[in-house]
Chain A
């Protein structure tokens, strides 16, 4: 009779049941038999230099592929290092399975190596957490984990696997695999709610649709297109919803950025918000005028009236709801309203439009983004990571692809350092595309050693550092609140990140003038290596995101 150990059961389940062919992690003694299970079942491993990058890559994998990402980490510091990435996935509602080592059950309370209570630490930042105590139940636990990750509002789950079960051999025939992979169930709104929503939308004079991450994880591009084209309403897609329809769709106001978003919301009479939380970015709903009618679509019923009472709430997966709602809607044309919004946004963004169009010395970050866009075009995948850098990236880049432009640090955790792991996952998920990362010099520091991972695993992204020699958002915020003469811990100085990347085996260049930007990008792509173009930009420039950030922390006296 064939025998199999617990670690191999993990590999077998992942490969045979969930069809997982790539996982992200970092090795460790406690999980050795899982690592060997990956070998046995031909699962590609991307081993990183810090576990937070592994969690962030698994999170990003789910964004770029629509499939649950898998991350593996060892016990103790492997676990604690991963926590930031797990928390980020939790606040971003990203489905992810974290497989984690644990000190032996046999040695509980004996002062075992890396003995800490991981479950209690991780519980507040996952949907589900468990320890498996029986080798034969490993597939069952994994099946629960994968289901929990995708059912309802998605999110990360955590499964702890001690050596007492991983390193035990059992009879393979005695451990059957579940018959099918995890699947997602949908719920649907009542007919009366659908009808009420249709009445509001059909009678709107100035409607506006804003979609968020729930649109992206619903993978609902075709029914979203049907809804938009029938209602004729303008829209913006945010967060992981970005790109579910192309940025240049005729009804898209993506090019008007956050200024256009605020203007559209403030002037609309009916707002349809789908898969989007009314969080601090939208001033917790306060930005929506009291007179506007709100139709809210969300998979989580608790979200419907959160921060702003909805006039109609439609609970369900965004794609499923839209496919039910669209047949109830009238064919409409709001082209006059859209033209007015575009024209107003253009006047309000006059300064940014001029900065993009004209060279400057030092380089303005908006101009840098415009030059990168000119080089890489609508076919690339763009990622922006940092503070002000995220604003410049998500307002300036444009892509025709799903998740084509992502501001990784603009989520609720505001988690800097996510850009490099996201760019790596993007390139692995869609190797045929150029992947361009615009990284602030501050945020670059968190995961810069992952250029070593890129070299070892041949992941040729291009990282453009928007280098203002500072934690720019913090620095400019301190200028507003403390004064320029009292800056503290916010300046970094000029550092040659391009040389660091060269030292790790990648390609690097320093750029200081406008005419050097595109040729440097061409050489970076031609090198075929992971590349860093370190661009020195104007340190005095502040994005509108900085005063928004400053205002959000200001307390009335």
Chain B
């Protein structure tokens, strides 16, 4: 199994696992939208710790987690470096001032505001990562479908999402099997040893069997669903959706509070936009 996949088909037994799909999906969506909407470090930092705490509460396999975490941190740092190379004085647009800490050359300066913005941005993305990881590891495909249906999304769309989510591990496994068998036949897949055009060709060679096996499933799955009466009625209920537990009752006011906070932030951004995007402690 691939290291980067954590999709479960059976719920675990921690506090977050036991919540209903409804609570999981709603809390997740509200937190993600909140994180997209805000650039305020005073809000992002608590959300970061919330995500960290939530992820740790699931007791994830530390060996699996390390690989992904390091990958995400490096990727974000690399993106920040790139952003700095393109516009070193980026913080000025967002915080309004620029305090030069030191100069490397005429163009490449290091300003306190840019560093602050990078810190905020980094925390924001790591927080998003932690919350999505928590979500993936605590939810099952049918709970996800049930949760989406609870926010009035048509059940056929919910079914699309849950089937897609369900089949990701299978397709990844097929992908790796095809890749390994291609390598066994002598195909060089090391990016350093092959040219770009050659690699594109090889990717297409992997793609062909993958597409055929994947779309071969469509007939089987849809026949099985038709036989069970899928799509006969206007609406449906979900077997995986159990009654609200104590945890759901605790979480309800929590996510409603986050939703209210999100709405306040959105309205503030529309009607009373602050002059600069990013809150900066020394500018205020």
Do chains A and B stick together as partners?
Answer: no
B interface vs A, CB < 8 Å?
none
